[in-house]
Copies of this chain bind each other. A is one copy, B any other.
């Protein structure tokens, strides 16, 4: 083994502890917002000693940044899973895909709160903004690729439009849980209809 693996199976365990801490951060953010992320609270939530949070992460900012990265990874995972389940063959598939994606996110609202909580914070934290940007670019690129395969013109711009629409919906729902997915579906149908030239409304 190289120099990195100092003791028998040490690094894997350290990595597991790191993950546990980051998961705890995400749970705390979902429950109490970014403000609630304190070393003590996170350590208690992750059931690790107080010193661990400062030992594994340089600062509170570092903690939040890495936690967002972890969240992003989880989102990529569910995106891939959904893409396997619902292949995109037409514009109608696209609407269904996006609605189902949001439906799953809403089933576990922690992720949504985390995402917006950290996006807003990123407006004041340059490093976090970098992380968020990478995430956004990734999402946009994935969607744009699908759109291109569907023959949508200006795929990148169209992807941004759709994401903005979904974001606006989720934001709306954050404070008004009565908004239904059917509303999102209707909006998406209108916009997707306008984006795909082959489809007629009447």
Contacts and interface: CB of A to CB of B under 8 A. Distances in A.
A142 interface: no
A157 to B, nearest CB: 7
A164 B165 contact: yes
Interface string A2-22: 000000000000000000000
A136 interface: yes
A59 to B, nearest CB: 15
A133 interface: yes
Nearest to A113: B123
A75 interface: no
Given A34-B35, A194-B193, A194-B194, A164 B172 contact: yes
A151 interface: no
Interface in A148-202: 157, 160-161, 163-169, 171-172, 174-176, 183, 186-187, 190-191, 193-195, 201
